[in-house]
Amino acid sequence: MEASGGRAYDELVKGLWRENPIFVQVLGMCPALAVTNSAINGVAMGSATLFVLLCSSLMISSLRNLIPKQVRISTYIIVIATFVTVADFTLQAVAPAVHRELGAFIALIVVNCLILGRQEAFASRNTVGMAAMDALGMGGGFTLALTSLGGLREILGNGSLFGVHLFGDAFQPWVIMILPPGGFLMLGMMLLVFAWVKEARAKAAQRLEREAA
Amino acid sequence: MELSGELVGIFIGAMLVNNFTLAYFLGLCPFFGVTSRLETAFRLGLANIFVMLITSLAAWLLDTFILVHVPYLRLIAFIVVIASTVQFVEMFIKKVSPGLFRALGIFLPLITTNCAILALALFQTSRGYGLLEGLVFALGAGAGLTLALVLMAGLREEAELSDVPSLLRGTAMNLLIAGLLSLAFMGFAGLFGGSS
């Protein structure tokens, strides 16, 4: 019981940072860059993806013994497409403004390789509980990445965060950051900073080891 | 004259002004995944154009004759059509030209999960393009995708040989290169009224 609880926790947190879908695995890039010109869009896109990922994972893992091996990919795609349609129509009804902003990218969650990848690599081989944990972790990590990316781009490109203006009138917005090139540049710089932190940590650990020896 | 002008606008718009990869962020997986060599990037681009043309035709047929009655099935119908089109194209090429089939290898089936293809079908519907406009749009989008792939592959082959800080190697550098390319493509904005 203790061990299974520990494993469930591990499945949950691995997606948040250690195997973060955007920063580490670099999956699902298209929506991650296309809609993150503000923090709120990042949150909306992230939660829509989280919803689809969670529902499909639950469905696939509970059906995993019934789905024939030969047609499994097509089955996953159809299940995912169904939940994306649900998410699409729900968002359209509940928050039409956000839906307009995200445009076709809600529908394009279907071809997000992150979701299909998790079904193939995890949900089809694990119990429903574990699959739910994995989906929550990966979806959460995805949302986290999109929100931080969107937040940074919004601060630099528009001088605001979640629509609240942070600086006075003297602030000159760095408009390029909320335009398409800004997405590539910002994610590139974030990856660069993460690589730098990782290397600095590794060096520090090495130095500690040497001093101990 | 009026019609052909509009078609040229759609073509240039899809290829340069609103380049699928660099302005809409579609099809980024092959853009970062298979652009390490110029040759394969170009071939993948051609295969994409081919699938896009067929998808555009199929999407138009579906939209005109079937989906008007069941609009909520659009997404599911499109993705099933794309998956089977790719499968069909794969079998067709295998039969007709085994050489080309071997050259394309794994990239052919992977086109299914290229979001540019699904986006093409969705955009075509939401903009209300007819059959001819749809085909021209598909051709332009495919050409733009190929252009982006080839440019990126060329730049990466160069970058491979240059002296780059070790921290920057890999994804971070590719993203920065893509950012600069995207910046360059913004220069096309405003061409043909910037619309379409």
Nearest to B139 by CA among B76, B50, B69: B50
**Which of B119, B172, B186 is the closest to A195 by Cβ?**
B172
- Residue ranges per domain, chain A? 2-153
| Predicted pLDDT of residue B194 | 44
Q: Which residue has better confidence, A71 or A127? A: A127
pLDDT higher at A149 or A18: A149
Residues of A within 8 A of B79 (CB-CB) are 77-78, 81, 110-111
Of all residues in chain A, what percent carry a pLDDT higher than 90?
Answer: 21
Please check whether residue A20 is in contact with residue A14, taking contact to mean a CB–CB distance below 8 angstroms: no
Q: Are A181 and B75 inside 8 Å of each other by CB?
A: no
When pLDDT is averaged across residues A123-142 and rounded to a whole number, the result is 90
Q: Is the dihedral of CA B130, B147, A22, B34 positive or negative?
A: positive
Nearest CA in chain A to B165: A192
Q: pLDDT band at A1, cuts 50/70/90? A: very low
Question: CB distance A30–B27 less than 8 Å?
Answer: yes
Number of residues written out for chain B = 196
If DSSP codes are grouped into helix, strand and coil, which group holds residue A166?
A: coil
Taking contacts as CB-CB distances below 8 angstroms, the residues of chain B near A181 are 179-180, 182-183, 186
Q: Residues of B with CB below 8 A from A89's CB?
A: 72
Residue A52 has a pLDDT of 94
pLDDT score at A84: 92
Say yes or no: B76 contacts chain A, CB-CB below 8 A.
Answer: yes
Please check the confidence at residue A9 and state whether its pLDDT lies above 60: yes
Q: How many domains does chain B have?
A: 1
**Cβ neighbours of residue B43 closer than 8 Å, sequence gap 6 or more:** B103, B104, B107
For residue A98, the model assigns a pLDDT of 84
- What's phi and psi for B127, nearest 5 deg? -95, 0
Q: Rounded distance, CA A207 to CA A210, Å?
A: 5
Residue among B10, B56, B53, B18 at smallest CA distance from B147: B18
Contacts of range A61-64, beta carbons closer than 8 Å, 24 or more positions apart: A61/A123, A61/A124, A61/A126, A61/A127, A61/A128, A61/A130, A61/A131, A61/A132, A62/A128, A64/A123, A64/A124, A64/A125
- Paired residues of A165 in beta bridges: A160
For residue range B6-29, list pLDDT tens digits in order: 888 888 888 888 888 888 888 887
Q: Cβ contact (<8 Å) for B183 and A199?
A: no
Name the more confident of B88 and A151: A151
CA A86 → CA A51, A62, A69, distances in Å? 10, 20, 26
Q: Which residue of A has its CA nearest to B182?
A: A181
Domain around B51? 9-187
CA–CA distance, B84 with B103 (Å, rounded to integer): 21
The terminus-to-terminus CA distance of chain B in angstroms comes to 18
Find which of B175, B176, B186 to mutate to test the A interface (most A CBs within 10 Å of its CB). Answer: B175
Residues of B in contact with A112 (CB under 8 A): 115
B3 falls within a domain: no
B25 and chain A: CB distance < 8 Å anywhere?
Answer: yes
What separation in angstroms does the CA of A195 have from each of B68, B170, B195?
50, 10, 40
Q: Can you give the pLDDT at residue B195? A: 45
Cβ distance B29 to A30 less than 8 Å, yes or no, reads yes
Q: Which residues from chain A sit within 8 angstroms of residue B115, using beta carbons? A: 30, 108, 111-112
Find out whether A21 and A114 touch, Cβ atoms under 8 Å.
yes
**What does the pLDDT read at residue A3?**
58
pLDDT, position B106 = 66
3 state DSSP class of A161: strand
pTM here is 0.83
Q: How confident is the model at residue A86 (pLDDT cuts 50, 70, 90)?
A: very high
Q: Is B175 on the interface with A (CB under 8 A)?
A: yes
Buried b vs exposed e over A27-59: b needs ≥16 C-beta within 10 Å? bbbbbbbbbbbbbbbbbbbbbbbbbbbbbbbbb
Tell if the CB–CB gap between A33 and B26 is shorter than 8 Å: no
Question: Is residue B74 in some structural domain?
Answer: yes
Neighbours of A170 (CB within 10 A): 6
Mean pLDDT calculated for residue range A180-209 = 88
Assembly ipTM: 0.80
- Residues of A near B (Cβ–Cβ under 8 Å) read 26, 29-31, 33-34, 74, 77-78, 81-82, 84-85, 88-89, 104, 107-108, 110-113, 116, 176, 179-185, 187-189, 191-192, 195-196, 199
Residue B28 touches chain A, beta carbons under 8 Å: yes
Q: What is the DSSP letter of A69?
A: G
Query: A-contacting residues of B 134-173, CB under 8 Å?
Result: 167-168, 171-173
- Report CA torsion sign: B88, B91, B97, B100: positive
Question: Is A34's pLDDT higher than 50?
Answer: yes
Mean pLDDT by 10 residues, chain B (196 residues): 78 85 82 78 84 88 83 85 81 81 71 80 85 90 91 88 80 87 84 52
Q: Do A192 and B183 touch (CB under 8 A)?
A: no
What pLDDT score does A58 carry? 93
Q: How high is the pLDDT of residue B196? A: 40
Q: How many CB pairs under 8 A join A and B?
A: 106
* Residue in the structure block whose two tokens are 């729900």: A90
